[in-house]
Amino acid sequence: MGRFRALPYAKALVMVVEKDGPQRLEAVAVELEAIAAALVAVPEFERVLVAPTVPSEKKTQILDAVLDALDMGQPTRRFLQVVQQHYRMQHLPDIAAAFRELVDKKLGRSRAQVETATGLDEVERGLLVKVVSAIEDAEVVAEFSERPELLGGFRLQVGSRVFDGSLAGELKRLSKEIQVEQG
């Protein structure tokens, strides 16, 4: 069986929602991420929605109850019902991620993962985001995590590019250089 591709679903949803403006694109992205997180957090929820033994009507009732509880808007609700009807609910996290990437691109935004050896305060985080935004020439939304094994400095990933300014990364580079020199 071929590998599932989330992008066509994400593109179709962007085409439906983009006419309502950038705020609506962002709202739908947040809603998709919420339901995708619910599927991951409650494995029984996903199991019910993908189980072939559960009747479609029952799956629709369960999905509608969850969408009501999460206060999902109409475009997202209709989209999720289509995804459910096409037996693709297990792929929703991939669809949500692809949709987020498309929305970020349309809004001129980049996502960054920042790993630091020690926690950064809000001022330091703000300065780092400002510098990365200037380098990227785009609004940057950064997700920060603390990784003591970096020993010092930070590691930054924007898209597929990784900038490793950590002490652990520098030690690794030095070790490789020494191994090359020693043959």
The token pair at 114 is 């920042």
Report the C-alpha gap between 152 and 51 in whole angstroms.
Answer: 47
pLDDT tens, position by position, 39-51: 999 999 999 999 9
| CA 71 centroid distance within chain | 21
Instruction: Give pTM, 2 decimals.
Output: 0.74
What pairs with residue 142 in β-bridges? 112
Q: Where are the domains of the chain?
A: 7-105, 109-182
Q: What is the pLDDT of residues 89-123, one digit of tens each?
A: 999 999 999 999 999 999 989 889 999 999 889 99
What are the tens digits of pLDDT across the range 131-173?
989 988 888 998 999 999 989 888 999 878 898 988 888 888 8
